[in-house]
């Protein structure tokens, strides 16, 4: 068991969100659903906490009501091998009410922020050739979803 894991506050969609995320990431699973007792807030038997794993990373999701909302101050970054993987996660996470943002960031339909980042972008941004890295940064700053071919073209000059 991990000592530290993200604990996500949802209004009432914790189980729905966990099932959605588990469906997107291979090898992921819902581990446990804890239901409210008569002493807990909310209706007895309703979903209180959902524990799930994405790529082996433990998460917990709470149905805490409408008091708190996600912000961009916390996001989850998905390292992608190639453009196909970027496209897959990007399209799935903005579907049904999600919203694209800038530089590989998006919000899913629950308001949670994600960064969908091809590994090639990270490599090019850290290239020892500062002019190349700067061109890649300038190209990325113009993008919503990261386009690997465009960042490669920027790197080439």
Set out the domains of the chain in order of their start, with CATH numbers. Answer: 1-68 (3.30.720.100), 70-157 (3.10.180.10)
Residues 122 and 107 sit within 8 Å (Cβ to Cβ): no
From the CA atom positions of the chain, what is the Rg in Å? Answer: 18
Per residue in 79-115, pLDDT (tens digit) is: 999 999 999 999 999 999 999 999 999 999 999 999 9
**pLDDT at position 39, please?**
87
Question: What average pLDDT does range 23-44 have in this prediction?
Answer: 92
What predicted TM-score, i.e. pTM, was given to this entire model?
Answer: 0.94
Residues with Cβ within 8 Å of 85's Cβ and at least 6 positions away in sequence, in order, are 118
pLDDT tens per residue across span 44-69: 889 999 999 999 999 999 999 999 99
- Phi, psi (deg, nearest 5) at residue 133: -60, -40
Band (pLDDT 50/70/90 cuts) for residue 43 is confident
């Amino acid at each position: 068991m991990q000592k530290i894991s993200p604990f996500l506050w949802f209004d009432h969609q914790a189980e729905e969100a966990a099932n959605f995320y588990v469906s997107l990431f291979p090898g992921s699973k819902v581990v446990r659903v804890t239901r409210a007792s008569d002493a807990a807030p909310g209706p007895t038997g309703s979903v209180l906490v959902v524990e799930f794993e994405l790529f082996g990373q433990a998460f917990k999701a709470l149905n805490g009501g409408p008091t708190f909302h996600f912000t961009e101050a916390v996001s989850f970054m998905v390292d992608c091998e190639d453009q196909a993987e970027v496209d897959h996660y990007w399209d799935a996470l903005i579907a049904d009410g999600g919203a694209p943002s800038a530089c590989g960031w998006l919000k899913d339909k629950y308001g949670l922020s994600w960064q969908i980042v091809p590994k090639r972008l990270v490599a090019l941004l850290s290239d020892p050739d500062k002019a190349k890295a700067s061109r890649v940064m300038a190209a990325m700053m113009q993008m919503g979803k990261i386009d690997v071919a465009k960042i490669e073209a920027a790197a080439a000059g």
